[in-house]
């Protein structure tokens, strides 16, 4: 099995790190969740930050499993 490429590894670590951060400080999550434009809560950085948020440990686990299985191969092809 080839080693995990650097960008895939960085995404894995970033997602797990953000999940741990928001488990410790749940009050921060609404600032980074993606809100509709008309809600009054929308901020421009939410277009990127919402991709790193996960609703539960199982959600995180299965997303990171998919990233581990397919991300490295896609990164090598691209």
Residue 40 counted as domain residue: no
Residue 60 lies in a domain: yes
Rounded distance between C-alpha atoms, residue 13 and residue 47, angstroms: 20
pLDDT value at position 2? 78
Rounded CA separation 23/20 (Å)? 5
Residue 4: inside a domain: no
Domain membership of residue 66 (yes or no) is yes
Model pLDDT, residue 55: 86
pLDDT, averaged in runs of 10, over the chain (78 residues): 89 94 91 92 92 91 95 91
Residue 69 belongs to some domain of the structure: yes
Residue 11: predicted pLDDT: 94
* pLDDT at site 51: 87
pTM > 0.75: yes
User: Residue 73 belongs to what domain range?
Assistant: 54-78
Contact by Cβ (8 Å): 7, 67: no
Domain count, the chain: 1
| Residue 12 contacts residue 26 (beta carbons within 8 Å) | no
Spatial distance between the Cα atoms of 41 and 65, rounded to a whole number of angstroms: 32
């Amino acid at each position: 099995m080839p080693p995990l490429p650097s960008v895939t590894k960085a995404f894995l670590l970033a997602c797990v790190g953000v999940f741990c951060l928001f488990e410790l400080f749940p009050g921060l999550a609404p600032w980074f969740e993606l809100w509709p434009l008309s809600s009054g809560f929308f901020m421009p950085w939410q277009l990127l930050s919402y991709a790193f948020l996960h609703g539960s440990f199982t959600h995180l686990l299965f997303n990171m499993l998919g990233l581990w299985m397919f991300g490295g191969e896609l990164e090598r092809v691209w």
